Structure 1
């Protein structure tokens, strides 16, 4: 396993990470982050990890900039998991929300800067997870954009020697024998089985 005894593992991102962690499902949410925490704890109960969820629904990389000091750096993680980009892409495909979309160049520069800062100030290791769109056709416009942003995450994972969680690839695998509606009503916000797909992609790397 990648984690060492007593380490602090922080997750930050958007609604997929949030999953009610600020209200009825406090403090971990009822999504992939809590599944990762639960299965890792069950498999390695003696390691004594501290788990922190800092997801906020609706966030883009622009929102992470505003709260990076308090929600990433001040948490002093040993490991920081970042899953961001779904809203950055999605808003470009929603009428009336285009101005809030984050172009890929801005996304790249902003995320690189955030990662550089947190590594320099905390010495943490990084886990970078792809944004995703639960769509089997790679030519579909939002899916095509998502693949481009995933390529950015892959590049940054290599730059920072980070673990790379290929969440889009994980959904591509299950979509070979299922439909998007089996995992999420809106192709973005999964039910528990969809969160399990994400969590399994994490656990494959952690273990």
Structure 2
């Protein structure tokens, strides 16, 4: 696929809000922190728009209500012309899932941002049941939310990147070992998807291409599932029972607009 060479819209103030995926968990940088798709996308956008400033208010573990309460007003105060919103997965995976409440928070965020003529980008979710077999009972929730997201984004004029039908988004190599967070390859895929959707020069649609099959023996697959339960699922359950979030005492990594290094 040929890269885009047509100049896209010009942005100078980009703000990312969301949870761990937008914070960049699963994509370590070289300084003991996290890079992530939003950083990667900002770098691509900054190469096309050298005056770009970028802030990232996302914090791991946050649900939609918290993102709305803690991050929305802070994002608006930065007077952005571009905002990405990634919220909802931490709501979906909770046993007491309130779909109406989640949709209400998403609707309110989209309405507040688009009322200010801010370009808003959001996403549907891949089928997490295809990523982690133990999560298959949640697949119906994901599909229902994705359908709601398509409706909400049409209603508000929000740009939607629809990951659900893209097979590459459920490939094992796109996900970190915990299967809750994207791997560096996955973060790169999302960054490329946003760049292509917004028409950033040099971006193309290769993010949609299938990845090579991941071949494992039955024994290897079973061993992998057992290891995942012990190393990741059980500790997650323990944290939930204790009422402790992975985002406790965590602050946004980039709370103010800063230039993007070229």
Query: Per the shorter chain, which TM-score range?
Result: 0.7 to 0.9
Q: Give the one of 186, 194, 199 matched to 2:191.
A: 199
Per-residue deviation, 1:2: 4.0
Stretches (4+) displaced over 6 A = none
Residue 151 (str. 1) matches residue 147 (str. 2): yes
Larger Rg: 2
Residue 32 (str. 1) matches residue 37 (str. 2): yes
Greater RCO (CA < 8 Å, at least 6 residues apart) = 2
Equivalent residues of 1:12, 1:82 under 8 A apart: yes
Larger mean CA deviation between 65-74 and 194-203 belongs to 65-74
Per-residue deviation, 1:3: 3.1
Counterpart of 2:233 in structure 1 is none
Per-residue deviation, 1:128: 1.4
Counterpart of 1:52 in structure 2 is 55
Counterpart of 2:138 in structure 1 is 142
User: Deviations along 1:111-143, whole A, 9 cap, x unmatched?
Assistant: 1122212333x3312111223444438992222
Q: Aligned-pair RMSD on alpha carbons?
A: 2.7
Distance across 1 between alignment mates of 2:189 and 2:74: 26
Counterpart of 2:118 in structure 1 is 124
- When residues 129 and 174 of structure 1 are mapped into structure 2, their CA distance, relative to the original with a 3 A threshold, is closer
Distance across 2 between alignment mates of 1:173 and 1:50: 30
Q: Give the one of 10, 16, 21 matched to 1:4.
A: 10
Equivalent residues of 1:32, 1:196 under 8 A apart: yes
Distance across 1 between alignment mates of 2:165 and 2:195: 15
Q: Secondary structure at the match of 1:51?
A: strand
Structure 2 stretches lacking a partner, 5+ long:
1-6, 200-262
Per-residue deviation, 1:19: 2.2
- Aligned pairs for 1:36-115 within 5 A: 36-42=41-47, 44-46=48-50, 48-92=51-95, 98=96, 101=97, 103-115=98-110
Equivalent residues of 1:84, 1:130 under 8 A apart: no
- When residues 112 and 53 of structure 1 are mapped into structure 2, their CA distance, relative to the original with a 3 A threshold, is same
Counterpart of 1:95 in structure 2 is none
Equivalent residues of 1:13, 1:55 under 8 A apart: yes
User: Deviations along 1:4-32, whole A, 9 cap, x unmatched?
Assistant: 15x211110000011269x943xxx4111
Per-residue deviation, 1:110: 1.8
Normalising by structure 2, what TM-score? 0.63
Structure 1 stretches lacking a partner, 5+ long:
93-97
Normalising by structure 1, what TM-score? 0.78
User: Deviations along 1:66-87, whole A, 9 cap, x unmatched?
Assistant: 2145422212111111010110
Counterpart of 1:167 in structure 2 is 163
Q: How many aligned residue pairs are there?
A: 187
